[in-house]
Structure 1
Amino acid sequence: MDMLERLARWRTFADDCLDGYPWEVEEFLMDVNSRSALQESMTASHEDSPVDHRVIAAELVAIDASVRAIFDIEAFPKMSRSEWWLRYVPSYAARDFCREFKSAYGVTIAARSKFDLDVDAMTQLSANGVAPADICLKVAEEQWYVTQRPALLFRACQRSLSIDRSARRALWSWATGKVSESDLRAALGK
């Protein structure tokens, strides 16, 4: 992975955190470690790379500032203060992440995320009798938060809709643009 790819991954992580980190603790730990890898690659390749380090450094400072604003819970005090991304965690995240983090590390994080809001709304639509395919299509048409990436949509549907393995495969194929709306309807039912 080159420096620009690492920077893009860190930017995505920052956006996820600002919206209330929707993934699991394992992904979180890999994401924060990606910041360390970015730091190392910037230091190691400063003179060898054709990439303009000033531009990357400026963008990194901006991304870091947005993340630092919400990374205000000191979860790992033995980590170096200079590697704040390894020492602190966000003050809020998705419910499942908060439960898992509390269980693993004994640290309480407030449950607040755009992901949970969408899951709750999708669950309510399902409880009101709206068909799973109609829920998926509504969410996509209205460009809800969970439609930003196929994996977010898939995760939200798993949590809010009662669908079997075959339907989940069709849902993933639809979310990644491999099957049509009519294929989704056929797989999930009208």
Structure 2
Amino acid sequence: MDLLERLARWRTFADDCLDGYPWEVEEFLMDVNSRSTLQELMAASREDRAVDHHLIAAELDAIDTTLRTIFDVEAFPKMPPSEWWLRCVPSYAARDFCREFKGAYGVSIAARSKFDLDVDAMVQLSANGMAPADICLKVAEEQWYVTKRPALLFRACRRSLPMDRSARRALWAWATGNVSAPGLRAALGE
């Protein structure tokens, strides 16, 4: 990845954290380590005339400033304070992340995320008798949080709806735009 791609990835990570990080600890660690790589690329780009270093630095600073407002749980105190992204973690995240992080590092993070709210609502719709395809289509039509990216939608459906491997393949194809709504209904047996 080049500098601009790394910056975009960091921006996406910040958005995920602000909404309550919905992924697993392994992804989180890769994301925070990508910030270190971004730092190195920033230093190397100072001499590159094709890159507007000042604009990129300003955007990075804005993302960092926002992210630091929630990165207030010190999880790894041996890391240098200047590398706050490696030293601290968000004060809240998705339930699964919080459980996994507590188990791995003994650090408690509040379970609060838009992802969990959507998953809980999807579970409730299923418990009320709504068919899985109808739930998926409703979520997409109403543009719930989990529809921000296909992987989020797929993850939410897997967490909330009973599906076999074939149904999960169809769900992924639908989430990525490769299967239509009728195709999703047919694959889910509706």
One-letter identity of the residue aligned with 1:48: D
Q: Does the 8 Å contact 1:131/1:189 carry over to 2?
A: no
One-letter identity of the residue aligned with 1:145: Y
Structure 1 residues 49, 96: closer, same or farther in 2, change over 3 A? farther
Instruction: Write the distance in 1 (CA, Å) between the matches of 2:16 and 2:23.
Output: 9
How far did 1:66 drift? Answer: 0.9
Instruction: Write the distance in 2 (CA, Å) between the matches of 1:188 and 1:141.
Output: 18
List structure 1 segments (4+ residues) > 3 angstroms apart after TM superposition: none
Q: Deviations over 1:95-114 (max 9, x none)?
A: 00000000000000000000
Aligned position for 1:68: 68
How far did 1:189 drift? Answer: 2.6
How far did 1:49 drift? Answer: 4.8
Instruction: Write the distance in 2 (CA, Å) between the matches of 1:49 and 1:162.
Output: 54
Q: Does the 8 Å contact 2:45/2:51 carry over to 1?
A: no
How far did 1:151 drift? Answer: 0.2
One-letter identity of the residue aligned with 2:111: A
Aligned position for 1:43: 43
How far did 1:51 drift? Answer: 1.3
Root-mean-square deviation over aligned CA pairs:
0.6
One-letter identity of the residue aligned with 2:106: G
Query: For 2:33, what is the secondary structure of its paired residue?
Result: helix
Q: Does the 8 Å contact 1:102/1:109 carry over to 2?
A: yes
Instruction: Write the distance in 2 (CA, Å) between the matches of 1:146 and 1:189.
Output: 23
Question: Are 1:176 and 2:181 counterparts?
Answer: no
Instruction: Write the distance in 2 (CA, Å) between the matches of 1:8 and 1:24.
Output: 20
Aligned position for 1:96: 96
Query: Normalized against structure 1, the TM-score is what?
Result: 0.99
One-letter identity of the residue aligned with 1:121: A
Q: What aligned pairs does 1:10-29 form with structure 2 within 5 A after superposition?
A: 10-29=10-29
Instruction: Write the distance in 1 (CA, Å) between the matches of 2:119 and 2:103.
Output: 22
Count of matched residue positions in the alignment of Structure 1 and Structure 2: 190
How far did 1:45 drift? Answer: 2.1
Aligned position for 2:151: 151
Query: For 1:9, what is the secondary structure of its paired residue?
Result: helix
How far did 1:188 drift? Answer: 1.1
Q: Deviations over 1:106-140 (max 9, x none)?
A: 00000000000000000000000000000000000
Percent of aligned positions that are identical: 83
One-letter identity of the residue aligned with 1:184: L
Aligned position for 1:139: 139
Q: Does the 8 Å contact 1:132/1:189 carry over to 2?
A: no
Instruction: Write the distance in 1 (CA, Å) between the matches of 2:133 and 2:99.
Output: 30
Instruction: Write the distance in 2 (CA, Å) between the matches of 1:180 and 1:108.
Output: 42
Query: For 1:71, what is the secondary structure of its paired residue?
Result: coil
Instruction: Write the distance in 1 (CA, Å) between the matches of 2:159 and 2:43.
Output: 42
One-letter identity of the residue aligned with 2:157: C
Instruction: Write the distance in 2 (CA, Å) between the matches of 1:68 and 1:189.
Output: 46
Query: For 2:9, what is the secondary structure of its paired residue?
Result: helix
Instruction: Write the distance in 2 (CA, Å) between the matches of 1:50 and 1:188.
Output: 50
Query: For 2:72, what is the secondary structure of its paired residue?
Result: strand
How far did 1:173 drift? Answer: 0.2
Instruction: Write the distance in 2 (CA, Å) between the matches of 1:140 and 1:167.
Output: 17
